[in-house]
Amino acid sequence: MTAIGLLAGLLTTICWVPQLARSLRTRSTGDLSWGYLAVLAAGLALWLTYGILLADPAIVASNVLALGSVAVLIAIKSAPRPAVVSAAAPRSATPAPRSAPRRDAA
């Protein structure tokens, strides 16, 4: 039974590897909402507590690793990002046309 639990924990924990790799590479977690991360972290913390109370190494190990992965995502998301300076539209070399001079009606 413990082997099945360890395998299940391994599979559900390594599912975070692609997201973590992408987030670390791009330094972007914009597609992950704070609500999602908060609820997921709370659920993993409760599973970890449950595993500790049962003294089940499969539950404890998988949730420690998953919670660590989520903690990295939260750290990346909360890290200050440098301001992005967009390039201004290039100015035209020719000046804007002037309106014709007014002629006073006599």
Q: What is the CATH number of the domain that holds 35?
A: 1.20.1280.290
Map residue 59 onto helix, strand or coil: helix
pLDDT beyond 60 at 90:
no
Is residue 36, in this structure, part of any structural domain at all? yes
CA distances from 18 to 11, 42, 102 (A): 13, 22, 68
Please indicate, yes or no, if residue 59 is contained in any of the structural domains: yes
Let me know if residue 102 belongs to a domain.
no
Predicted confidence band of residue 73 (pLDDT cuts 50, 70, 90): confident
Domain of 23, in residue numbers: 2-78
The pLDDT tens digits for 9-24 are 888 888 878 888 888 8
Q: Report if residue 29 sits inside a domain.
A: yes
Number of domains in the chain: 1
Query: 9 lies in a domain?
Result: yes
Give domain status of residue 87, yes or no. Answer: no
Tell me the pTM. 0.64
